[in-house]
């Protein structure tokens, strides 16, 4: 029972980190262009995440099924894991969450927008390998279904930023073409309004998509420990707790990440902000409808790079983009490694004491990261300060004018 309580607390803590890690995806561009004041932006995003989380009625209890085998296709946990109050399953989930949270906190400290869903899946995969072996991980799907680590995590992560950047680039190019004869101030004022609208859509979609992963995991833990039996519904208090946790996290605002995404990658104007936000919103919403699992972080980053590529003369700081890319590549294995270690510690100490020790390790790590972050705080007061370009941050983008590109094709 105490272990179950820790799993629930850790899930909510993950949901909270998910919130502040991803505030930037929706609001970084609006804050950077001055469409919204920093505090107003995070407040708006928090409220919309809360609404979105409550609107996600069709919560999948099978959230872990795409990467690991601890549940059957109806969502029921495997019987061999539910013995003894589900302690085997609870330890895997707890260790997985610990790995995910620690990775999320570290990347936040570095201001890197890594994917929270990759951290979660990485953590679960790592804990599963440690606990049940390699065969308990679903690596690839069948011939007819996109599934497994490759189909649900790796391939979408490669494709989604490309898709988003193509959409954002196209949108940016059209916008600047159409509004060429509109005076700059008039144009920017108008586009700020559009930007607020499209950023709001991302926040709503984020609340719908991300909060339900945690809802599914808490409910799985409740089922495994025999405290809930319905495989088609989530307890109302779980939904309310998850919605609140993600909204609070969003409201705290991951200022470090907002700064990197909004100021570090590309210097953007409000028309570009609108193009990037619309591209992100459309890509996230369309793909979640088509069941193509992707990470809002990858999409938002792709869109912002795309909008830099779509405007003549704009610069993308490729060195910053490269750092992000590295963070993306190592998110899954790193979160997995931490989770596997956490599982090992919990398993060898054993029982309640083991779970308490890894919970304590998590609190210790969180405290350390927080203490470290106080050394150079980033908050709403300095989030939009000029980006100090370090040597090598800027590489001139080879912007090919579309006309000459067409000619080259001919």
Partner 1 sequence: MSQLWLALQAGAQVLFAALLLGAGLPAIFALGMRSLAYGAGGTAEVAVESKPRPVGKVLAAVCFGVVVVAILLGISWIVGTGMGYSLVFDHLIPTFRKK
> Interface residues with partner 1 (CB under 8 A)?
55-58, 140-141, 143-146, 148, 150-151, 155-156, 159-160, 163-164, 166-168, 170-171, 174-175, 178-183, 186-187, 190-191, 194, 197-198, 201, 204-205, 208, 271, 274-275, 278-283, 285-287, 289-292
Q: Of 85 and 141, which CB lies nearer to partner 1 in the complex structure?
A: 141
Q: Taking the complex as a whole, how short is the minimal distance between the CB of residue 249 and partner 1, in angstroms?
A: 22
Q: Nearer Cβ to partner 1, position 197 or 367?
A: 197
Nearer to partner 1, 239 or 256 (CB): 239
Q: Output the smallest distance, CB 303 to partner 1, in A.
A: 8
- CB of residue 16 to partner 1, shortest distance in Å: 23
Is 98:339 a contact under the CB 8 Å cutoff?
yes
Structure tokens at 45: 């995003």
For every residue of 311-360, DSSP letters joined together read: STT--B-HHHHHHHHHHHHHHHHHHHHHHHHHHHHHHHH-HHHHHHHHHH
In this complex, which beta carbon is closest to partner 1, that of residue 140 or of residue 356? 140
- In the complex with partner 1, the residue whose CB is nearer, 17 or 307, is 307
Reduced to 3 states, what is the DSSP secondary structure of residue 68? strand
As beta bridge partners, residue 316 has: 266
For every residue of 93-105, DSSP letters joined together read HHHHHHHHHHHHH
Q: Residue 358 and residue 122: Cα distance in Å, rounded?
A: 17
Closest approach of partner 1 to the CB of residue 289, in Å: 7
Structure tokens at 324: 């992000």
Count CB neighbours of 220 within 10 A. 26
Q: Which is nearer to partner 1, 28 or 294 (CB)?
A: 294
Q: d(Cα 79, Cα 85) in Å, to the nearest integer? A: 11
Nearer to partner 1, 292 or 368 (CB): 292
In angstroms, give the least distance from the CB of 66 to partner 1.
Answer: 12
Least Å from the CB of residue 139 to partner 1: 10
CB of 162 to partner 1, least distance (A): 8
Cβ neighbours for 105, distance < 8 A, ≥ 6 positions apart: 17, 365, 366, 369
- How near is the Cβ of 161 to partner 1 at its closest, in Å? 11
- Nearer of residues 71 and 160 to partner 1, judged by Cβ: 160
Is 190 or 333 the residue whose CB approaches partner 1 more closely? Answer: 190
Q: How far is the CB of 59 from partner 1 (least distance, A)?
A: 9
Cα torsion through 338, 342, 344, 350, rounded to 10? 180
- Phi-psi label, residue 34: left if phi above 0, alpha if psi -120 to 50, beta otherwise: left
Q: Which long-range contacts (CB under 8 A, 24 or more apart) does 362-367 make?
A: 362/10, 362/13, 362/98, 362/101, 362/102, 365/102, 365/105, 366/13, 366/101, 366/102, 366/105
CA–CA distances in Å: residue 98 to residues 17, 122, 295: 12, 11, 20
Q: Are 172 and 313 in contact (CB under 8 A)?
A: no
Give the whole-angstrom CA distance, residue 220 versus residue 105.
25
């Amino acid at each position: 029972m105490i272990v179950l309580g820790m799993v629930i607390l850790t899930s909510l803590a993950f949901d909270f980190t998910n919130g502040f890690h991803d505030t930037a995806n929706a609001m970084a561009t609006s804050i950077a262009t001055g469409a919204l004041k920093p505090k107003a932006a995070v407040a708006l995003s928090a409220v919309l995440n809360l609404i979105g989380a409550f609107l996600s009625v069709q919560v999948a209890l099978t959230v872990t099924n795409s990467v690991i085998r601890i549940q059957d296709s109806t969502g029921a946990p495997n019987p061999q894991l539910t013995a003894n109050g589900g302690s085997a399953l609870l330890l895997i989930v707890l260790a997985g969450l610990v790995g995910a949270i620690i990775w999320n906190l570290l990347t936040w400290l570095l201001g890197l927008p890594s994917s929270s869903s990759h951290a979660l899946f990485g953590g679960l995969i790592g804990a599963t390998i440690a606990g049940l072996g390699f065969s308990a991980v679903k690596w690839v799907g069948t011939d007819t279904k996109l599934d497994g680590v490759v189909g649900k995590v790796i391939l979408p992560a490669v494709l989604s930023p490309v898709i988003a950047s193509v959409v954002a680039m196209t949108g940016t190019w059209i916008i600047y073409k159409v509004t060429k004869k509109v005076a700059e101030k008039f144009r920017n004022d108008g586009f700020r309004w559009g930007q607020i609208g499209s950023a709001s859509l991302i926040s709503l979609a984020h609340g719908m998509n991300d909060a339900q992963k945690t809802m599914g995991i808490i409910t799985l833990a409740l089922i495994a420990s025999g405290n809930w039996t319905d495989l088609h519904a989530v307890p109302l208090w779980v939904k309310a707790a998850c919605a609140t946790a993600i909204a609070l996290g969003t409201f705290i605002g991951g200022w470090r990440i907002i700064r990197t995404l909004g100021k570090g990658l590309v210097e953007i104007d409000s028309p570009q902000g609108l193009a990037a936000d619309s591209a992100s919103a459309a890509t996230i919403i369309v793909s979640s409808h088509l069941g193509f699992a992707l990470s809002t972080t990858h999409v938002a980053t792709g869109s912002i790079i795309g909008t830099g590529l779509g405007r003549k003369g704009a610069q993308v700081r490729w060195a910053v983009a490269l750092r992000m890319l590295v963070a993306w590549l190592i998110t899954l294995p790193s979160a997995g490694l931490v989770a596997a270690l956490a599982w090992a510690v919990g398993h060898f100490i054993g029982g309640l004491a083991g779970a308490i020790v890894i919970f304590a390790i998590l609190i210790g790590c969180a405290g350390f990261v927080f203490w470290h972050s106080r050394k150079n705080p980033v908050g709403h007061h300095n989030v939009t300060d000029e980006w100090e370009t370090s040597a090598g941050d800027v590489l001139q983008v080879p912007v090919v004018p579309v006309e000459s590109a067409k000619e080259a094709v001919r």
